[in-house]
Structure 1
Amino acid sequence: MEKSLSNRSMKYLFILLLILIICIIIVFLVSKSSNYKKQIIFFEEYLKNNYTLDDATIKEFVKVFEILYDEFPYVTEYVYPIELLAIGIVETNFENVKGDSGESLGYFQIQAPTYWYLKHNYPEFYQRINFLEPWYWDNIKERPDVQLLTSILYLYDIKLRFGEEDAYSIYNGGSETYKDKILLRLNILENEFKTFNRR
């Protein structure tokens, strides 16, 4: 009789523990997803308030984040809108330009070999946004969505292969100075994001 009661208590305790763990996981996932959505809004508001980008460009950027969130959530676990905001600021201050003697293109300064590597390894992303053309300036200067997606995939790929710690320096050819600039900008943006969340 005592054994039976003891077994029953253990079962109830186990079930309660299991329910508690499931609830914690759900709260964590909801919080994480909510944070990503808030970062998209912050990204959009930050660009509107600090840059002269046209609304269509900002909408294209936002659309990429939404597609990733809805259709490729595994990418959003590694790369966040606030990181791309920092990269866009440090790379070009959100100007759609050629850099590195014409080798790096667009807001996030991606080079053609990087694009070809990503397009080969992640074709479904480019198919999703209907971009199957070569990475020439004339093809991508009017496609902010392609530029942002490529930057996101590049950072994602680096993080998977080399880890979080070296991702920012590798993004810029192994530059520790660049990594420091990104981390400083991220720190500033994260503080602004906290203020933004309190509104």
Structure 2
Amino acid sequence: MTVRVIKARKSYKKFVFTIIVAILVLLVFLSLLIILQPGREKYNEYLTQVSFFESYLKEYYQFEEEVIRDFTDAFMMLYEEYTYITELVLPIELLAIGIVETNFKNVKGDKGESLGYFQIQAPTYWYMKNKYPEIYEKLNFTHAWYWDNVKVRPDVQLITATLYLYDLKIRYGETEAYSLYNGISKAYQDKVNYTKSWLKVKFEEYKEAQKELSK
């Protein structure tokens, strides 16, 4: 066998080996894309829901821009720094709860015991504040749950409602969380689920409209 033939065979083997390695690398890369894609889609869904939340409030309520910005900033803080929370509690759920609780009115309820858009009571706030102190420190809110303190902080109201719903889901499961949010009420749970169901329809319409605008 000539030296030229031997060299040719070696070159061929090296070429085949390189092709196999390249294919394996490509397969690993595609596998990672498949694994990570659901996560990316989930987070994109969250951001789209934040945008929908903002759009819905602007369309159906008379809110000042500052209030809506406080809400969206609160969502974004959770999204950027506390993804374990945003994996379980979505903006559309807070939208549904705000509609059912007060129709997004910043009011006192239950003889002054429940405060704000999401009707949070003082014991709930203190429990959340003690459990997630770093979040309230970031919000620069360490005050008592009095109306004068609460009414001017939509972001704190939304964060507290989110943490409360998150905590209920962790402790009691997805099914019971809505009922327990309002003191073990099946009727309340049904209202939230119904509201969330038609909001989801509007959300899908919103997504389609955004796709058309982006063309």
TM-score w.r.t. structure 1 length? 0.91
1:119 to 121, 129, 140: 129
2:192 to 182, 194, 197: 182
Letter aligned with residue 39 of structure 2: L
Map 1:135-146 to 2 at 5 A.
135-146=145-156
Shift of residue 27 of structure 1?
A: 1.2
Q: Is residue 146 of structure 2 the alignment partner of residue 163 of structure 1?
A: no
Letter aligned with residue 47 of structure 1: L
Letter aligned with residue 43 of structure 2: S
Q: Is residue 21 of structure 2 the alignment partner of residue 30 of structure 1?
A: no
Map 1:1-199 to 2 at 5 A.
18-199=28-209
In structure 2, C-alpha distance between the alignment counterparts of 1:125 and 1:81, rounded to whole Å: 18
In structure 1, C-alpha distance between the alignment counterparts of 2:111 and 2:176, rounded to whole Å: 25
Shift of residue 19 of structure 1?
A: 3.9
Structure 2, unaligned runs of 5 or more: 1-16, 210-215
Per-residue deviation, residues 13-48 of structure 1 (Å, max 9, x unmatched) = 987765443211221111111100000000000000
In the TM superposition, structure 1's runs of 4+ consecutive aligned residues that sit over 2 Å from their partners are 11-21
Letter aligned with residue 131 of structure 1: F
In structure 2, C-alpha distance between the alignment counterparts of 1:168 and 1:184, rounded to whole Å: 12
In structure 1, C-alpha distance between the alignment counterparts of 2:26 and 2:175, rounded to whole Å: 38
Structure number with greater Rg is: 2
Where 1:135 maps in the other structure, the secondary structure is coil
In structure 1, C-alpha distance between the alignment counterparts of 2:60 and 2:200, rounded to whole Å: 16
TM-score w.r.t. structure 2 length? 0.84
In structure 1, C-alpha distance between the alignment counterparts of 2:138 and 2:31, rounded to whole Å: 36
In structure 1, C-alpha distance between the alignment counterparts of 2:179 and 2:114, rounded to whole Å: 16
Structure 1, unaligned runs of 5 or more: 1-7
What's the RMSD between the two structures over aligned residues?
1.7
In structure 1, C-alpha distance between the alignment counterparts of 2:34 and 2:202, rounded to whole Å: 28
Shift of residue 54 of structure 1?
A: 1.1
In structure 2, C-alpha distance between the alignment counterparts of 1:12 and 1:170, rounded to whole Å: 54
Letter aligned with residue 111 of structure 2: S
In structure 2, C-alpha distance between the alignment counterparts of 1:143 and 1:116, rounded to whole Å: 16
